[in-house]
Amino acid sequence: MPLFTPQQPRFSQEPADQSVVRGQRVILSCVVFNYSGIVQWTKDGLALGIGEDLQAWPRYRVLRVQDLGQYNLEILSADLSDDSLYECQAPDAALRSRRAKLTVLIPPDDPVIDGGPEVLLNAGESYNLSCVSRGAKPPSMIEWLKDGLPVDGAFSTTEVLPDRKRVTTRSYLPIQPVDTDTGRNYSCVATNLAIPPGKSTTVTLNVHHPPTVTLSIEPRSVLEGERVTFTCQAHANPPIMGYRWAKGGVVLQGARESVFTTKADHSFFTEPVSCLVFNAVGKTNSQNTHLTLFRLVPQPKTVDVDSDVSLNCKWAGNPPLTLTWFKKGSNMVLSNSNQLYLKSVSQADAGQYVCKAIVPRIGVGETEVTLTVNGPPIISSDPVQYAVRGERGEVKCYIASTPPPDKIVWAWKENVWEKEKGTLLERYTVEQSKPSAEGGGVLSTLTINNVIESDFLSTYNCTAWNSFGPGTMIITLEETEEVPVGIIACGTVGSTILLFIFLLVLVLIFYRQRKGSRRGVTLGKPDIKVETINKETHSLEEDSGSVSTASRMVKAMYSPFKDDIELKSDLRSDTLETRQEYDLKDPTNGYYNVRASTHDEGRPASRSTMHYSDYRSPPCYDPRPPSRLSHISYAQFNTFTRGGQSQQPPTNPAPAASDFPGDCSLLDSTSQLAYDNYGYPSHYQTYRMGFAPSTPSGSETGLGKYGSSTRFSYTSQHSDYSHSRHTQRMQTHV
């Protein structure tokens, strides 16, 4: 049988480092496995005793659970004296646990700001606010707040207390108070691990400063000899003790208050008035020399219409000033002199005119003068007014005039009303009022009870008289309907939707136009449009195969060319073609703009067509009779063979230069196919259409080799056959 070996005693749990706030309970753990002997705790190497109750340490107790081998140490109401190293020992097994550090945290005392709760300071003098936080473990962290907001710039010092465990922290915040800092609050907040929210204290500043003075003059613009008031507005801390007034440096006896009143004269320009204010901290002196004097105040004027009027205004000031005249409500300068002259005034010129004195870098002073223009009544009501059928309606007539109207008469239908107010036929009421918002005019209102259709068919004559004559206005009353709120809302929504659709259509149109514009390039020079046309003819002759390639290519005719018609820049063929523009090398080296397009018609044969835009040929006239050669006979006579076979053309005599010019060829509109009328330029070889000129032996002829060759041709846009099956072109040599 195998022998059983008992396990040796050992620690299954040892005490760990811990922190505890002073006054709280803490437990240090110790569990010994497979051990039944004595267990004891030591503090800084000193044994605390044996057993559960430690008589020498009334706040200490061993929490023993024999079956589990547990011997935990409990400390009640931890204090600074408990801040030590602790060890669990099993002497019978010679076991000692690791040493555990118990740290006792101590919150700081309430912080104190020196000089609080109110700190007395002088404005402009630097000062260090001092806050002390004592007896903290670990040391306190101090933060400053100004009216509840954090403030930077503080610095701190620390001091260790005699127990060598607690620390006192002192923080300083430099400030330079101003007079407006009186009543401002500064707070000091001290925190550490024992009290994370911290403790705080607050002080209020009381900043002493000499008086702050503002000297004002009222009014700033006065008539010479009138009274002017100087006001010395001051505030100080501590309170103001007194005022002293002086003029030109000489103290004014008897002037001891904040307000000084005297008569204005020119001596104030050379002898300024000053105000001295003092308190326990100091004194402040202020003076104001910016005074503007009227030498002549403009007086209100009343004139008749079409009269001349002159308004005068004279100022004096320090420093020198500039005068401007303008009408109130307008920025137009009417004059820059002391006098404003208005010639042949009308009632529209009536109103208030402002004489403004502008003092550079100081400000402005101004006065107003009222101009009244006598004239006949002016009626300014709306000529069209509105009412709702079946409701109460009003027709308003506003009369503004000087002098006021003597009489106002209403006339409508068969009714005439001359009284100031009253009721007619129980449906019509006339009232007069003088609304203050209308500038002093007279408002006469004709009220209609239960508006009927005939009220809309009548005109309303409002006539007013005064000593200068009458004024009349014809007013019409139109019907308006009350639109329900729901209809208004639906109309608003509908108009919004229509606007959105309209904008969407515009965007689509713009997009399509822009997309289409990318198909070609248009430059400032005349354009050449090069088209490759793959053409599937629908002629019975070509389908039969009996017609040669040359015959199919020369079926074109010029339409009559007239002097007053310009060839358009973009010529398009109306055959059954599908065009796709592409780039092609410019054969004119930049002199023309080259545009190319592809015509796919199900046949590989191709032909290139070059369009000259902005081209206008000079007028040419062919004196010869039209040719009687038809399309068919000419095509049969001038036929090229396919497959590179060349056919020698008959001799084509060059036409005389006098017959027609060498740079144009016009066909008579009656000619079926007048190719022999074509005039070639003098520097080109001449030959009959359908035959290439003879070439050296072994070389290929123009159309003999290429049954479907590449050609460049002029195309006439004005051809009578522009929409027919055959496209008319003028062929040239490129």
pLDDT, tens digit, for every residue of 385-421? 999 999 999 999 999 888 889 999 999 998 998 888 8
> Each residue of 457-469: pLDDT tens digit?
999 999 999 999 9
Phi, psi torsion values for 348, nearest 5 degrees:
-70, -20
Residue reference for tokens 């004027």 = 301
Q: In the predicted model, is pLDDT for residue 683 greater than 70?
A: no
Q: Contact at 8 Å (CB) between 375 and 305? A: yes
**Token reading at 109:** 């005392």
Distance of CA 542 to the CA centre of its chain: 70
Q: What pLDDT is recorded for position 297?
A: 63
Token pair, residue 657, equals: 């230069």
Name residue 160's beta-bridge partners. 167
pLDDT, residue 51, reads 84
Q: For residue 457, count other CB atoms closer than 10 A to its CB.
A: 10
User: Which residue(s) pair with 277 in the sheet?
Assistant: 243, 284
Nearest to 75 by CA among 108, 29, 114: 29
Cα 48 to Cα 40: distance, rounded to the nearest angstrom: 7
Average pLDDT estimate for 584-610: 42
Please check whether residue 273 is in contact with residue 235, taking contact to mean a CB–CB distance below 8 angstroms.
Answer: no
Nearest to 73 by CA among 82, 12, 33: 82
116 pLDDT more than 80? yes
Give the range among 92-101, 200-209, 294-303 with minimum mean pLDDT: 294-303
Per-residue pLDDT for 141 more than 90? yes
Helix or strand or coil: residue 339?
A: strand
Average pLDDT rounded to a whole number, residues 370-384: 92
Q: What is the H or E stretch that residue 582 is in?
A: strand 579-582
CATH number of the domain at 378-479, please?
Answer: 2.60.40.10
The separation between the first and the last C-alpha atoms of the chain, rounded to the nearest angstrom, is 123
Contact 583, 518 (CB under 8 A): no
Q: Is the peptide bond before 300 cis (omega within 30 degrees of 0)?
A: no
Tell me: pLDDT of 97 over 90: yes
pLDDT for position 276: 93
Instruction: Tell me the torsion sign for CA atoms 46, 51, 55, 61.
Output: positive
Residue 695 has pLDDT above 80, yes or no: no
CA distance 488 to 493: 9
Burial class (CB in 10 A: 0-12, 13-18, 19+), 676: middle
The residue whose two tokens read 């006579």 is: 637
CA dihedral of 254, 258, 261, 262, whole degrees rounded to 10: 60
User: What is the spatial distance between Cα 430 and Cα 417, in angstroms, rounded to a whole number?
Assistant: 8
Give residue limits of the domains in the chain.
Answer: 10-105, 108-289, 300-374, 378-479, 526-734
Supply the pLDDT for residue 254.
84
Q: Which CATH architecture has domain 300-374?
A: Sandwich (2.60)
Q: Is residue 633 scored above 60 in pLDDT? A: no
CA 153 centroid distance within chain: 40
pLDDT of residue 438: 62
Residues 6 or more apart whose Cβ sits within 8 Å of residue 500: none
pLDDT of residue 36: 84
What is the structure's pLDDT at 402?
A: 86
The arithmetic mean of pLDDT across residues 596-618, rounded, is 40
Tokens 């009274």 -> residue? 227
**Residue bearing tokens 């099956």:** 725
pLDDT at 73: 95
Which position has the higher pLDDT, 38 or 484? Answer: 38
Strands 18-21 and 608-612: unpaired
Burial of 62 (0-12, 13-18, 19+ CB in 10 A): buried
pLDDT of residue 516: 64
318 Cα distance to chain centroid: 45
DSSP reduced 3-state for 542:
helix
For residue 610, what pLDDT band results from cuts at 50, 70 and 90? very low
- pLDDT, average across residues 692-702: 40
Question: Whole-prediction pTM value?
Answer: 0.43
Tell me the helices (H) and strands (E) count for the chain, helix number first.
6, 52
Cα 602 from Cα 610, distance rounded (Å): 21
**In the CATH scheme, what architecture does the domain 108-289 have?**
Sandwich (2.60)
Which of 156-160, 262-266, 346-350, 431-435 has the weakest average pLDDT? 262-266
Tokens of 163: 């127990």
pLDDT at 597: 41
Query: How far from 591 is each of 85, 118, 250, 618, 733, CA to CA, in Å?
Result: 104, 94, 95, 21, 17
Backbone angles phi, psi at 181, to 5 degrees: -80, -5
d(CA 284, CA 211): 6
- How confident is the model over 225-229, as a mean pLDDT? 85
- In the predicted model, is pLDDT for residue 357 greater than 60? yes
What number of other Cβ atoms are within 10 A of residue 588's Cβ?
A: 13
CATH class (in words) of the domain with range 10-105: mainly beta
SS3 letters for 123-177? CCCCEEEEEEEEEEECCCEEEEEECCEEECCCEEEEEECCCCCCEEEEEEEEECC
Going by DSSP bridges, is the β-strand pair 100-105/18-21 parallel, antiparallel, or unpaired?
A: parallel
What is the C-alpha to C-alpha distance for residues 506 and 300, in angstroms, rounded to an integer? 61
Q: Report pLDDT for 5.
A: 58
Ranges 39-53, 291-305, 515-529, most confident? 39-53
What is the identity of the amino acid at 42?
T
Best CA proximity match to 337, nearest among 324, 354, 352:
324
Burial of 544 (0-12, 13-18, 19+ CB in 10 A): exposed
pLDDT digits (tens, 9 = 90+) for 143-200: 999 999 999 999 999 999 999 999 999 999 999 999 899 999 999 999 999 999 999 9
Q: Are 660 and 682 in contact (CB under 8 A)?
A: no
**Mean pLDDT: which of 77-86, 228-237, 246-255 is highest?**
77-86
Nearest Cα residue to 163 out of 190, 131, 134? 134
Predicted pLDDT at 478: 94
Report residue 420 as tokens.
């100031």
- What are the angstrom distances between the C-alpha of 418 and each of 10, 381, 406, 428? 127, 19, 11, 13
pLDDT surpassing 90 at residue 98: yes
| Buried/exposed 95-104: b ≥16 CB within 10 Å, e otherwise | bebebbebbb
Of the two residues 74 and 426, the one the predictor is more confident about is 74
Rounded distance between C-alpha atoms, residue 173 and residue 189, angstroms: 13
**Cα–Cα distance for residue pair 352/367, rounded to 1 Å:** 10
Listed in sequence order, the residues at least 6 apart from 378 whose beta carbon sits closer than 8 Å to its beta carbon are 347, 399, 400, 401, 471
Max avg pLDDT among 159-168, 308-317, 349-358, 697-706? 159-168
For 232-280, give the DSSP string.
EEEEEES-EEEEEEEETTEE-TT--SSEEEEE--THHHHS-EEEEEEES
Domains 108-289 and 300-374 belong to one CATH topology: yes
Residue 128 dihedral angles phi and psi, to the nearest 5°: -110, 115
Structure tokens at 556: 């074109």
User: Could you read off the pLDDT of 426-479 as tens digits, one per residue?
Assistant: 899 999 988 876 667 899 999 999 999 999 999 999 999 999 999 999 999 999
The predicted pLDDT at position 239 comes to 92
* CB-CB neighbours of 627 under 10 Å: 17
Handedness of CA 412, 417, 423, 424 (dihedral sign): negative
> Considering the chain, what percentage of its residues have pLDDT values greater than 90?
41
**Region 492-507: what's the mean pLDDT?**
90
Helix, strand, coil share (%) of the chain residues, nearest 5: 10, 40, 45
Of 3-7, 168-172, 230-234, 716-720, minimum mean pLDDT range: 716-720
Mean pLDDT rounded to a whole number for the chain? 74
Q: What percent of the chain has pLDDT over 70?
A: 64
Residue linked to tokens 């309907």: 481
Could you tell me which residue, 439 or 629, shows the higher pLDDT? 439
Between 306 and 654, residue with greater pLDDT:
306
pLDDT tens digits, one per residue of 653-667: 443 443 433 443 333
Q: Judge contact between 291 and 199, C-beta under 8 A.
A: no
Report how far residue 478's alpha carbon sits from residue 704's, in angstroms, rounded to the nearest whole number: 88
Nearest-angstrom CA–CA distance, 484 and 134: 78
